[in-house]
Structure 1
Amino acid sequence: MIQRIQSVFLLFTAISLVVLVFYPLWNKVDAEKSEVLTLTALEMTHVKVDIDTGEEQVIAQKPTYYIAAVALLAACVALFSIFKFNNRLLQIKLGALNSLLMAIALGLAVYLIFQGEKQILPMEQGNYLFGFYMFVSAMMFNALANRFIRKDEQLVRSADRLR
């Protein structure tokens, strides 16, 4: 089960999706007004920082827990798929479902980033942070796992033809 390369890739997919919940996805800084807008998988926070005291004043805070919920659901699907190693067709279907869930979570994050771009300095672009790149790594690992699952299925079918 875990010795198969696709199981390792599915495990890395789940780990990447869990990690993105705990790291910021995007931020944007306005140095003139001392404002910072940060997006995580759980909330979008608009903060004004007092330069003299370093004290932070929250201007707006919007929950974005639905990104985390979809990402964690995709992580659960990846972990469930690991244990369905004896049913490769189901694993392929779960991989497609997982790709769809990750695309939904990424789409939600990108939508909120576009909304945040309008709030502070609309002419400048914000910074994509570590959490955002976890989406990319999770999708890459999921695609690799699906490729090796399909390869195993083709190998089994070709062996059945020889019998």
Structure 2
Amino acid sequence: MIQRIQSVFLLLVALIMISILFLPMWGKVDMQAQELVVLNAFELVYSSFDENGEKTVMATKETFWISVLAILAAAVALFSIFQYKNRLRQIQLGALNSLVMGGCLGMAYYYSTKGDQMLNPTTIGNFQIGFYIIAAALLFNSLANRFIRKDDKLVKSADRIR
């Protein structure tokens, strides 16, 4: 089960999707006004700094849908690992997981555009590691699906030989 390469890829998908719960996804800093907007999986925080350097939270917006989708994607990947006897179901779960991770990526982009509107429009926001590793998880998920299909073809060809 874990010795198969697709199981390793699915485990990586689960670990990555859990890790985005702890990493920032997007940020924007306005140095003149000393304001900051940060997006993570749970909230979009708009804060400012006073002359003493103390951070004051001006507004927050809940973004828990990103975390819900990330947890769901990790759960589907882990469940898919243990469905190794039913390769068709594994392929279906992989397709579902791609949709869930795409939704997570879309929600992160949506909330980053909302955060972009909160601060000076001339300042450019930056996507951070939490956003980019969702794309890496999508890549690992597609690789896992590729190797699951390869195993399925191998088993079907062995059945034809018998």
| TM-score category (smaller protein) | over 0.9
Q: How does 1:8-157 map to 2 (within 5 A)?
A: 8-50=8-50, 52-157=51-156
Q: Return the offset for 1:114.
A: 1.2
Q: CA deviation at 1:55?
A: 0.6
Is the 8 Å Cα contact of residues 30 and 123 (structure 2) preserved in structure 1?
A: no
* Counterpart amino acid of residue 22 in structure 1: F
Q: Which runs of 4+ in 1 moved over 2 A?
A: none
Could you tell me which runs of 5 or more consecutive residues in structure 2 were left unpaired when the two chains were aligned.
none
SS at match of 1:21: coil
Query: What is the rounded CA distance, in whole Å, between the counterparts of 1:121 and 1:48 in structure 2?
Result: 13
1:104-160 CA distance string (max 9 Å, x none): 111111011111112212133211111111201111110100000000001111111
Partner of 2:46, secondary structure, is strand
Deviations 1:16-52 (A, max 9, x none): 00001111100000001000000000000000011x3
- Code of the aligned partner of 1:6: Q
Which blocks of at least 5 consecutive residues in structure 1 are unaligned?
none
Identity %: 52
SS of residue matched to 1:80: helix
Distance 1:106 1:130 in 2: 12
SS of equivalent to 1:91: helix
The TM-score, its normalising length taken from structure 1, stands at 0.97
User: What's the CA shift for 1:11?
Assistant: 0.1
Q: Which moved more, 1:122-131 or 1:28-37?
A: 122-131
